[in-house]
């Protein structure tokens, strides 16, 4: 079992740069992402994170959301915001793995404006690998583990 120490709470409040992340997923903000204050609503960021993590898994052939006997379920998320964004910003979600356990993975995630070095938000996203029907945790397969290790924080 490989364990990467989770980022300390203080570190999660630190505004990271792009170099801390191993994979990026582009996000186009949408008109309805903005709230009454004219910026992307905080809850929308969680959708961005979910999309980025799952697209990584799908595009790398690690899960098939319709047929895989095992899937990942979200167990925990959290975000710290450093700056606001608004439609029509183009964003990028950076992914790194901060902890890889027997049946769970903790992602260090950050949202950047396209091409920018400093994050507008940073957080964590915990996935638990489960048997689809029972939703009981199972050991992460070697194939998935190897792919996730490539995202490991250094």
CATH for 93: 3.10.129.10
**110, part of any domain:** yes
* Strands annotated E in 64-138: 70-81, 90-100, 104-113, 119-131
Token pair 């992460």 is at which residue?
Answer: 140
Is there a contact between 120 and 113 (Cβ–Cβ < 8 Å)? yes
Chain mean position to CA 46: 9
Tell me, what DSSP letter sits at residue 152? B
Domain membership of residue 3 (yes or no) is no
Contact partners, residue 101, CB within 8 Å, separation at least 6: 1, 3, 140
The three-state secondary structure class of 125 is strand
Report the residue count for the chain.
154
What domain count does the chain have? 1
In a domain, 4, yes or no: no
141 in a structural domain = yes
> Across the beta sheet with 23-28, what order do the strands follow?
23-28, 90-100, 104-113, 119-131, 70-81
| Per-residue model confidence (pLDDT) at position 1 | 46
Q: What is the DSSP letter of 118?
A: B
Enter the pTM of the model: 0.89
Residue 106 has a pLDDT of 98
pLDDT of residue 13: 74
Write out the residue range of the structural domain in which residue 19 sits: 9-149
Low-confidence ranges of the chain (pLDDT < 70): 1-12, 154
Helix ranges (DSSP H) in the chain: 9-12, 42-59, 142-149
């Amino acid at each position: 079992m490989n364990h990467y120490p989770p980022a300390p709470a203080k570190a999660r409040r630190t505004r990271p740069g792009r170099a801390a992340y191993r994979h990026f997923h582009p996000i186009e903000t949408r008109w309805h992402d903005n709230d009454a204050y004219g910026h992307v609503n905080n809850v929308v960021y969680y959708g961005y994170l979910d999309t980025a993590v799952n697209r990584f898994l799908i595009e790398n052939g690690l899960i098939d959301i319709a047929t895989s006997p095992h899937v990942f379920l979200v167990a925990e998320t959290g975000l710290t915001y450093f700056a606001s964004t608004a439609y029509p910003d183009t964003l990028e979600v950076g992914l790194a793995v901060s902890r890889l356990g027997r049946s769970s993975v903790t992602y260090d995630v950050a949202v950047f404006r396209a091409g920018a070095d400093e994050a507008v938000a940073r957080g964590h996203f915990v996935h638990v690998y489960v048997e689809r029907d029972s939703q009981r945790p199972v050991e992460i397969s070697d194939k998935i583990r190897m792919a996730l290790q490539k995202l490991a924080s250094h």
